[in-house]
Amino acid sequence: TNSRKFLNVNTCNPLLSPLSVCWLLVQEEDPQFWRSQARRTLQSVLDRKLNTNVAKNILFFLGDGMGITTFTAARILKGQLQNQTGEETVMTMDTFPNVGLAKTYSVDFQIPDSAATATAYLCGVKTNLNTIGVNAAGRNGICKTQKGNEVTSILKWAKDAGKSVGIVTTTRVQHATPAATYAHSVSRKWYSDADVPESAKREGCTDIASQLIKNTDIDVIIGGGRKYMTPRGTKDPEYPRDFLSRGKRKDGRNLIKEWQILKTGKVARYVWNKSDFDAVDPETTDYLMALFEPGDLRFEEDRNPSMDPSIIETTEKAIRILQKNPKGFFLLVEGGRIDQAHHDGRAYMALHETVAFDNAIAKGLELTREEETLTIVMADHSHPLTFNGFPFRGQSILGKSPLWATDFLPYTTLMYGNGPGYKVVNGKRPDLRNVTTSETQGKDYVQLSAAPLESTTHSGEDVAVLARGPMAHLLQGIHEQSYVAHAMAYAACVGDDLRHCQEQPMPELDTSLSSAQ
């Protein structure tokens, strides 16, 4: 009987698909399948109770460039990597009960960059493109507009409240998103002093890397960016023969050594490889600076697991160090290379980065308690990635649409509005009829784009904000992106608005769980 039912399912061939997939599709033909699923979901929603505790911890996950299309496509990929059809997969992000949208525009542009957006959701103030930690009176690249227009972030508010704080990123730690937690710069590109114009230096502006060790006492710093911390010509410990990996600083400062001196009397560890990273004991470590690459970290699919830890491992190490503080912590975890893969037009890389990011979120939830930890997942902006055609259920998200266009040529399910994938020659686009799915599924495949650009731009639609834990319901609805910082601060009773801690007690610490972790 089952064999006959399988063969009657038009969308499933038991000779080509796993039996579990075929059985799922058979179940979905029964309307009771959907009714039962809906009832279970409805009951779980009805059973929810508002968590109005004061948030002891804030765990903030930022998927750079993780727009709604990326979110959906990564969900499908994650399922397909597990031999499922993919569409019905439940990612960790999907389990967050509170969902909202954030408007991403900057003060001067309809479509923002990561610097303006990071200033909004971390500092609570919208600003101009390419500027970090300053309000909109600061002008891109004009140093004299910076002084007096600086704004601080929730990382600093948390530190001022006695919490431990940290940043984890898959980019360089001086990049726009992490930099907005600690730096004030009218140019996101002033990574080291070699990037700062002499006129700006004379006017008192300093580079982002130097601000990393000066502005705020950050307990955990994990990412890349070694070359911005050392004097010009300093050989990189991992790539000593690579000239481009050598130190960039013109002022002769070694910021890594300066950081170590500043932490004299504390257990402060600097590491640049996985073996030393693994040897760091969270229970005895006060401060950690881990810089695994001269610049950005490698894509997850290119990562050498013997040299560089995954975002799951870095997230876990950071939490275990920070959570020793009885007053709690703030941690920013950025999946920063989702964005960079999209800029390259490489959907494969962007989606695999997103899957790794989702796995790091799962690790974060495993190590914390929902009663006392506000966990937020959001994107800063989106990309012009389209999910199109009418692909069959379970078809590879990185494959081709079964329907051809009016030029009688196939096209991929995922495409870009602009970028390096523009390949029209003599009025004709590439013929994909002889391009196999294994090729379009390759990590170096560049999806077609409608307009030619060397780098795909961002896009301007709203981005999802997902939240769970104390006061997570404050993130429901459609808000300006700058609202997010204020909602987090209110929930944790940091910053200027302390009404919540005057109204609600802190949740009692579960000592048995803490000791077990």
- Which residues are designated catalytic? 114
Question: Phi and psi of 342, rounded to 5°?
Answer: -60, -40
User: CB count, 10 Å around CB of 408?
Assistant: 8
| CA gap 372, 56 in Å, rounded | 5
DSSP annotation string for 13-82 = -TTTS-HHHHHHHHHHTSHHHHHHHHHHHHHHHHT-----S--SEEEEEEETT--HHHHHHHHHHHHHTT
| CA gap 347, 313 in Å, rounded | 24
Q: With CA atoms as reference, report the closest residue to 364 among 387, 330, 394, 390.
A: 330
Region at 502 (left for phi over 0; alpha for psi -120 to 50; beta for the rest): alpha
Instruction: Specify the DSSP class assigned to residue 314.
Output: H
| CA gap 358, 270 in Å, rounded | 27
| CA gap 133, 152 in Å, rounded | 6
| CA gap 338, 170 in Å, rounded | 9
Burial class (CB in 10 A: 0-12, 13-18, 19+), 103: middle
Sequence ranges of the binding site for Zn(2+): 64, 339, 343, 380-381, 458
| CA gap 368, 322 in Å, rounded | 11
| CA gap 470, 492 in Å, rounded | 8
* R_g of the chain, CA atoms, integer Å: 24
User: CB count, 10 Å around CB of 409?
Assistant: 13
Token digits of residue 401: 């649409």
